[in-house]
Structure 1
Amino acid sequence: MTVPTITAARLTGAAHRAELPLLVLGPSLGSSASTLWTRCAMSGLTEVFDVVAWDLPGHGYNHAVPDGSFTVAELAEGVLRVLDDVLEQRGEVGGGRGGSFAYAGDSVGGAVGLQLLLDHPDRVTSAVLLCTGARIGEPAMWEGRLGQVSVSGTSVMVAGSAERWFAPGFLDEHPETGSALLHALADADDRGYAQVCEALAGFDVRHRLGEVAAPVLAVAGAHDVATPPANLQEIADGVQQGRYVELPDVAHLAPAEAPETVARLVRAHVLGEEPEPPAEAPAPAAATAAGERYDAGMAVRREVLGDAHVDRATAAATPLTEDFQRFITEYAWGGIWTRPGLDRRSRSMITLTALIARGHHEELAMHVRAARTNGLDDEEIKEVILQSAIYCGVPDANTAFRIAQQVLSELDATPPGGDR
C-alpha cells in the first residue's frame, strides 16, 4: 500500500479557530489549494469554519512525490493522516477518539471526498462535492493524458485546460484568477500529475454510492465537459441523503469561478443556514476588485508570514495605522505576491536583497522567516546575503548575516508545530 504524503494549509487565522467546526477543502487535478480555494474561503468560510485546504502530491506546496503509484483510496488515507495532525492540535483525536470534519472538494478533491465518505463514514459529517463524479472520464482518456505528460510535461495541458476549466468569458473577465490557476498547472510536478491521472483511471465507486449516509450536496457546472452535470446528478440520486445544484455560469472549477456562490452553498449545507438572497445591486467593479485583492493578499500574507504574526499585526492596528495595514495587505500581498510571473522562492530572494540594501533590519528578520516558509534553505539564504555583499556593501551584509543567524537559530530551536 502506497499512502502519499499530503500537505495542508490553514486558511483561518489562529485566533479562536479551534472553537470553529473544521472544514476541509480538496483541490482539482493541476491546481493548488490556495489558487483554487482562497477567494471562496475568504468569501465567508473562514469566519465560521476552521478551514484547512490540502495539496496533491507534486502540486502547490506539496513537493513530496512517492516512488510508486497510488489509488484514490490511498490518496484519501494520506489526507486523513494530515487531518489527524490538525485534529490533534484541536484536541479532537487521541485516547480512542477520531475527530470529525465537514468536507468540500472539486474534481479529484471531490473523488477523495467520496472515498472518505465510504471508507470512514464516522469521520465526515457532511460533504459538498463539486464538478466531480463517482467515476471521472474513461481509463483510455487518462492513459492518453499520461502519455502526453510523460513526453511534454504538464505545460502541454495548459491550452486544453484553459478551454475545459472555465465557462465562456471567464478568462476575459478574470484574467488574474485564470492566469494563477494555469500557472499552478504548469508548475505541477510531472510525476505527481501523472500519478493522480493513474489513480483516477482506476477510480469507480458508482456501485457503492448507496453506502453513503452523510448528507451530500452535489454541485455541477452547466458548462463542465470534464465532469458533466449528469455525473453530479448521479451522485445526488445515488447517496442516501443527496441534493443537486447546477450553477449556470460555471465549468469545472466552481470554487474559483463562483467563489461567493460556492461559499454560500457550503455554509447552507454544512451549517443549515438559509441561503442569502442576491444583493439588489452589485458592488461597483472597482470595489469588488479591491476586495478580491485584499482577500487574496490576506491569504498569502498568512501563508508566508504565519498566522501568529498576522494576528499580532492586525490586533495592534489603531485608527492611525489600520488603513496602512489594509493598504499593504491589498497592494503588497494581494497586488504583487499573488502575481503568477514569479514563484514565492524568487520573490523571497528579491525581497531579502532589497531589505539588505535599504537597511530595513526589522523587516529583514521577518522575511528571513518568510524565506524559510517559501522553501529557501540556509545555504540559499547565505548565497543571497553574499551576493548582496558585492552589490549592496560589506557592512550591510555583515548586519544581515547577524540578523539571519539569530532568526535561523530561533527557527531551528522551535519545536515542530510551534509558532512560525
Structure 2
Amino acid sequence: MTLELRGTGFAVRDASRPLLVLGPSLGTSAAALWADVVPLLAAEADLLGWDLPGHGASPAPAGPSTTVEEIADAVLGLIDDAQAERGDPGAPVWYAGDSAGGAVGLQLLLDAPDRFAGAALISTGARIGTPEGWEERAALVEQAGTPTQVIGSTERWFAPGFVEREPQVVTRLLASLQTADRHGYAAVCRALAAFDVRTRLGEIATPLVAVAGSDDRPTPVSSLAAIAAGARRARLRVLEGVAHLPPAEDPEAVAAILRELLAGRLGASDPERAAAGFAVRREVLGDAHVDRAIGATSATTAEFQDLITRYAWGEIWTRPGIDRRMRSAVTLTALVAGGHWAELEMHLRAALRNGLSPAEIREILLQTAIYCSVPSANHAFGIADRVLGEDGEAAR
C-alpha cells in the first residue's frame, strides 16, 4: 500500500524562486521544527515542509511498519505536486532535513539524485542508533503512547540551558511529540531500525553540507563527519552549543547555512577538494587509520579535520608535480627535523604504502642524521625499527 504523507506549503509561489524542501525529526512536525527558520528564508525561497507518518498533518500508516525508502518516495510525490503548482515539474530542488528527515534526505540523494541541486543533512547519520534500540522504543510507544518519550526526548533534543532559555520553543516541540500518533511514531522507529546506507555514501555526488550540533548525543559530530567524508562533494559544519534540533535551537545559523546552499556559496571547489583529499588520505594512510580519525571527530576537532583534508590532502598531496614516493621522502625528512614523532610513525607506514622500500627509508633517515642532527635521527631510527619490524617482509 502506498504511504500517504502531507506537506505544509510555508511559502510556495512560482518557479522564479528556488524550492527548498524541509524534513522533520522523529517526534516533531515540520511546522514545529522549522517555525523559526521559515520567516528568515521566506523572502528568498519557496519552502515546502513535510510530515512523517502519524506526525503533524500526515495520517498514520496503514500497517505497523514502513521504510525510509517508502517515506522518501512519498516525499518525492509531494515535491511533484508542489512543482506542478509552481510550474517547474522535474526541475532540481534543494533539501534540508533533521535526524529522521536527514536520513530520508540521504535516501532521496541515492534514489533520485537528478532531482536535487543540493542538500543540508542536519543531526543525522547514514545509520542512527541500533536496530535493537529502535525496536524496543517502537514496542514501548506502540503500547503506551508518545508521552513516554517526553523526558528522554527533552534530554536528547536540547543542549544544556536551552530548556530554561527558550521554554516556548521547547513547549511547541514537545506538544508535537505528544500529539504524534503512536503507531506512526513506532513505524518510523522501525524504518530507522532497518536504515543503513553507510556503504553507499560514495554514490552521493550531490553537493551537500553535513550540519552537526556540538552537544548532540544521538547523532554526534562523528556521525556527520562520516557523511562528509563518504559523500563525494560534502562539507562539515559544526554548530556550537547546539544538540539534536539545530533548526529550533539556532535558527539563525541554520538559515545562514541554507542561504549559502541556495546561493551556491558553499563552494564547488571545496567539496571537490575535500572529496579528492579523502580519497588520497585513504590511499596513503589506509582505511583503518582514516576511519579511526573520522570516528574520533568531535566538535573541537571537526574544523581542523576538514582543514587538513581539504588542504593538506586535497590541495598538496594531489598535486602532480612530484610522485607520492617523493612526497613521502620529503615528509619523513620534515617530520624528523621538526621532532614530530607520532606523525613520523604514521608516515613511515604511509611511505611503505607509497612504494618506498625499507632500504630507501633507512637511507632517508641516514641523510637526516647529517642535516637534522644525530640525536633526531637516532630517535627516528628507533621508531622506524618498530614500524618496519611489524611486517616481516618490510623488515627484510
Question: Shorter chain as normaliser: what TM range?
Answer: 0.5 to 0.7
What corresponds to 1:120 in structure 2?
A: 112
What corresponds to 2:377 in structure 1?
A: none
What corresponds to 1:147 in structure 2?
A: 139
What corresponds to 2:3 in structure 1?
A: 4
Give the match's secondary structure for 1:82. helix
Whether the 8 Å CA contact 1:3–1:75 is kept in 2: the answer is no
Matched, 1:76 2:65: no
Give the match's secondary structure for 1:122. helix
Mapped partners of 1:38, 1:190: distance in 2: 23
Matched, 1:107 2:115: no
Q: Which amino acid aligns with 1:41?
A: V
Give the match's secondary structure for 2:37. helix
What corresponds to 1:179 in structure 2?
A: 171
1:52-67 maps to which residues of 2 (within 5 A)? 52-67=48-63
Matched, 1:160 2:159: no
Mapped partners of 2:92, 2:218: distance in 1: 30
- What are the ranges of 5 or more consecutive residues in structure 1 without an aligned counterpart? 276-420
Matched, 1:262 2:259: no
What corresponds to 1:51 in structure 2?
A: 47
Q: Which of 219, 228, 250 is matched with 1:227 structurally?
A: 219
Give the match's secondary structure for 1:24. strand
CA shift for structure 1 position 91: 1.7
CA shift for structure 1 position 99: 2.6
Give the match's secondary structure for 1:183. helix
Whether the 8 Å CA contact 2:54–2:61 is kept in 1: the answer is yes
Q: Note closer, same or farther for the CA distance 1:68–1:142 as it changes in structure 2 (3 Å cut).
A: closer
What corresponds to 1:89 in structure 2?
A: 85
Q: Which of 183, 196, 205 is matched with 1:191 structurally?
A: 183
Mapped partners of 2:128, 2:266: distance in 1: 31
Cα displacement string for residues 220-268 of structure 1 (whole angstroms, at most 9, x for unaligned residues) = 0111111111110000000000100111110000000000100000111
Whether the 8 Å CA contact 2:96–2:119 is kept in 1: the answer is yes
CA shift for structure 1 position 11: 1.1
Mapped partners of 2:118, 2:202: distance in 1: 15
Matched, 1:129 2:126: no
What corresponds to 2:233 in structure 1?
A: 241
Cα displacement string for residues 73-111 of structure 1 (whole angstroms, at most 9, x for unaligned residues) = 111001001110111111222xxxx23210000001000
Mapped partners of 2:38, 2:189: distance in 1: 27
What corresponds to 1:361 in structure 2?
A: none
Matched, 1:271 2:275: no
Mapped partners of 1:81, 1:273: distance in 2: 29
Mapped partners of 1:146, 1:119: distance in 2: 26
Mapped partners of 1:82, 1:235: distance in 2: 26
Q: Which amino acid aligns with 2:164?
A: D
CA shift for structure 1 position 273: 4.2
CA shift for structure 1 position 274: 7.8
Mapped partners of 2:129, 2:65: distance in 1: 19
Task: Count matched residues.
Answer: 267
What corresponds to 1:30 in structure 2?
A: 27
Q: Which amino acid aligns with 1:223?
A: D
Cα displacement string for residues 148-200 of structure 1 (whole angstroms, at most 9, x for unaligned residues) = 11221100000110110000000100000001101110100000000000000
User: Given the two structures, how large is their TM-score scaled by the length of structure 2?
Assistant: 0.66
Give the match's secondary structure for 2:235. strand
Mapped partners of 1:3, 1:157: distance in 2: 28
Mapped partners of 2:252, 2:43: distance in 1: 13
Deviation larger for 265-274 or 49-58: 265-274
What corresponds to 1:335 in structure 2?
A: none
Mapped partners of 2:72, 2:46: distance in 1: 20
User: Given the two structures, how large is their TM-score scaled by the length of structure 1?
Assistant: 0.62
Q: Note closer, same or farther for the CA distance 1:184–1:245 as it changes in structure 2 (3 Å cut).
A: same
- What are the ranges of 5 or more consecutive residues in structure 2 without an aligned counterpart? 268-396
Identity, % of aligned pairs?
49
Whether the 8 Å CA contact 1:3–1:77 is kept in 2: the answer is no
Whether the 8 Å CA contact 1:3–1:70 is kept in 2: the answer is no
Cα displacement string for residues 322-381 of structure 1 (whole angstroms, at most 9, x for unaligned residues) = xxxxxxxxxxxxxxxxxxxxxxxxxxxxxxxxxxxxxxxxxxxxxxxxxxxxxxxxxxxx
Whether the 8 Å CA contact 2:210–2:236 is kept in 1: the answer is yes
CA shift for structure 1 position 114: 0.4
Provide runs of 4+ in structure 1 moved above 4 Å: none
Whether the 8 Å CA contact 2:214–2:239 is kept in 1: the answer is yes
Mapped partners of 1:134, 1:13: distance in 2: 30
Q: Note closer, same or farther for the CA distance 1:111–1:203 as it changes in structure 2 (3 Å cut).
A: same
Cα displacement string for residues 283-338 of structure 1 (whole angstroms, at most 9, x for unaligned residues) = xxxxxxxxxxxxxxxxxxxxxxxxxxxxxxxxxxxxxxxxxxxxxxxxxxxxxxxx
